[in-house]
Amino acid sequence: MNLFPDVFAIILFFISVFGLLTSRNIIKSIIFILLMQTAVIMFWIFLSSRFGQIPPIINDPALLYDMTYIADPFPQALMLTAIIIGISVTAICITMLNTLFRRHKTVEWKALAQCAREEAVQRNNDI
């Protein structure tokens, strides 16, 4: 049963990869990317602590002899950074999507690709 949380994170990760393959809507793709980030962060957090472990604040020196009782703070610190990076790039993506929506009135991948191609044809005539 100790393996269960890791397997859960892996399954969630690959579900979101599959979801990215099949979403026609850009907002759905962004949500799947967020889900992918959540799965990875969950994987790291499950590495750091299990049920029954204590936080790494030691008052009693006798506890230091058996490290398995103490949760690991390192992945949690890294994941704070990863969460922040994830939020900021998602915010940039949504801003760009907003601009594209105002211009083309659609949020579908195929339709936007078509609009970009038509603009590229116009663009070839001027530098």
Partner 1 sequence: MLTFFVIIPVVIAVFLFVFSGARSARIIAMAFQTALTGFAFYLFMLSRTETVYTQIGGYDGFLGIILRADNLAAVFILLSTVIVMVVTLYCINSDNTRTFWFLLFLLEASLIGLFLSRDFFNIFVLVEVSTVVVTILLMYNRLRRNMYAGLLFLMVNIVVMQFFLFGIGYIYMLTGTLDMDGVAVAIAGMDQSSVALPYALIMTAAASKCSLLPLLTWQPKVNSMPGSPTSITAIVSGLHIKSGIYIFIRFQNVFGDFAARDFFLIIGIITGLVGVILALSQKNIRLILAYSTIAQIGLIMVGLNMDYTYYYAYYGSLFHVVNHALLKSALFMGAGVIIKLYGTMDIDKIRGLWHTHKPAAIATALAIMGIMGAPFFNGSVSKYFMMREVSGLLEWAIILLNLGTILIFLKYATIFFGKPEEGTIRKIHTDWCKMTAIMFFGVASFILGIFGEQFKNFVFNLEVHIEALSYLEKVGIFALSLALGMALTKYIPKDAKLFTRIRDMDLGFREICASLGIFFAVVLVFVGFIR
Residues that bind partner 1 (CB under 8 A): 6, 13, 17, 20-23, 26, 29-30, 33, 36-37, 39-40, 43-44, 47, 75, 78, 81-82, 85, 88-89, 92-93, 96-97, 99-100, 103, 109-110, 112-113, 115-117, 119-120, 123-124, 127
Task: Classify residue 26 as exposed, middle or buried by CB count within 10 Å of its CB (0-12, 13-18, 19+).
Answer: buried
Q: How far is the CB of 51 from partner 1 (least distance, A)?
A: 17
**Which residue, 30 or 70, has its beta carbon nearer to partner 1?**
30
SS3 38: helix
Q: How far is the CB of 54 from partner 1 (least distance, A)?
A: 19
Tokens 């490290």 -> residue: 67
Dihedral, CA of residue 104, residue 109, residue 114 and residue 117, to nearest 10: 100
